[in-house]
Amino acid sequence: MFKLVINPSKEKGHINPEIQGHFSEHLGRCIYEGVFVGEDSDIPNTKGMRNDVVEALKEMKIPVLRWPGGCFADEYHWKDGIGPKENRKKMINTNWGGVTEDNSFGTHEFMELAEQLGCKTYVNGNIGSGTVQEMSEWVEYMTFDGVSPMADLRRANGREKPWTVDYFAVGNETWGCGGNMVPEYYASLYKHYQTFVKQFNPDKKIKKLAVGPTDKDYNWTETMLRECFRQQGTFPQNFGYMDGLTLHYYTLPYDWDKKGSATKFNDKEWYMTLAKTFAMEEFIEKHSAIMDRYDPDCRIGLMVDEWGTWYDVEEGTNPGFLYQQNTIRDALIAGINLNIFNKHCNRVKMANIAQLVNVLQAVILTEGPKMIKTPTYYVFKMYSAHQDNALLESSIDTEPIGIEKKYMVPNLTESVSKDERGNIHITLTNLSATDSYEIETNLLGNEIESVSGEIVAGAITAHNTFDDPDVVKEETFDAFKTDGDKVTFTIPASSVMHIKVTLCQKSAQDVFSRT
């Protein structure tokens, strides 16, 4: 039996909803066919947005959406994507498949999508091929409510009131596709460009994000903090240079030359892939340690704005479209990462899985009028119970499992939170491809009133198809035994679980009085 110990009276941090954020790029069929079909499409839509996709994402409680890239962001010129669609300039998407981009999905369409979803907006600016003026005018176009050339242009294009831009990043992957820069050069450019990302509405402050490292590039983080960090100043406008630093890490079974199949893999490849996902925790801890030296109060968030699995594309699809299937393995990787982000929520303020629809570890796949939810979708739906909660102190017994020594992983991972009503939310992953485990959960003297749960489980290669869309789905789990402050249950092999625990009224009152 493995013991999970939870201290409901010990809060460790706050879990931002944005930790469960998403990323949408002009890449393959993510935007076009995935989210946007146009108002003239036979597929049911509202102002061009697919109704089925929008409803599914709302059900999942999507908190924030990043757009327009990715590598695409640094070749995107926003004025090409406004005004009458028939007059918009066409371009070649040089990063992703060399296809023609007609710019029919631009600023107005993205903001319409965000309004339909009810989520926060994260806009990526162009530093790689764009100018300071272009970036400054885009911010003015989106957020200024007075009389100015850009605000007047927005009104002429049909939008009277400004939108809210919650997050704005100055560039993307400037160490690679965003310009192949060294950190010292980018740090100087970032300070220059961000100066002109103006705060036109003091009540809706744009959080400015700087490009951070990939993987274990600790020198990049050190340089950015050394060159760009400053304490809050005396004057209201002097808030420092950045609110967040990004981090990118993808889980690949092998390497960039041979990534491996999304659906055809054995137990060894199962454990190999899960083991590589745990590098995320190491990267977060080491980058955070650098940030802590400059920013011990965690004012600057570590934003993991690209993460997820990356496999070989599905056979017969455009290699530049990055279309891959999604199995129980991906569900486990989503659960492991989300538990890691929760555990580090004092520093990790946002994370955006790549990507929203039809690209990489998508939560949704579409094919013409058909839509399916992937195993990863159901994990995000279950984990939405953590949004805006207090992280609780918790620990779980584990044992190493796997096939080869270098690819051993802990058999279980967890994170626990408390919502505003005092309910306890537990998320668990069982990484074993074959074994179930009995769990005893101890809430340290807090008597349990009721327990309920949901689970995503199946064979390791199980996945949904357009012919069979419900092979993997969220199901009710109720095989619990309670005794005072303890609850016992068995978690099946290769599964992700969410458990909601309601404490007896007296215990709940005691917890609130202690916190």
Catalytic residues: 173, 306
Pairing state of beta strands 481-483 and 486-491? Answer: antiparallel
Cβ neighbours of 192 (radius 10 Å): 12
Asked if residues 418 and 8 have their Cβ atoms less than 8 Å apart, the reply is: yes
CA 173 from chain center: how many Å?
17
CB neighbour list of residue 324: distance below 8 Å, 6 or more residues apart: 262, 309, 310, 311, 312, 313, 314, 360, 361
Q: How far apart are CA 163 and CA 139, in angstroms?
A: 10
Question: 179 to each of 94, 189, 219, 513, how far by Cα in Å?
Answer: 14, 11, 18, 53
Q: How far apart are CA 122 and CA 107, in angstroms?
A: 12
- Per DSSP, what are the bridge partners of residue 120? 64
H helices of 172-217, in order, are 183-194
Secondary structure element (H or E) that encloses residue 396, with its range: strand 390-396
DSSP track, 455-508:
EEE--TT-B--SSSTTSS--EEE---EEETTEEEEEEPSSEEEEEEEEEPHHHH
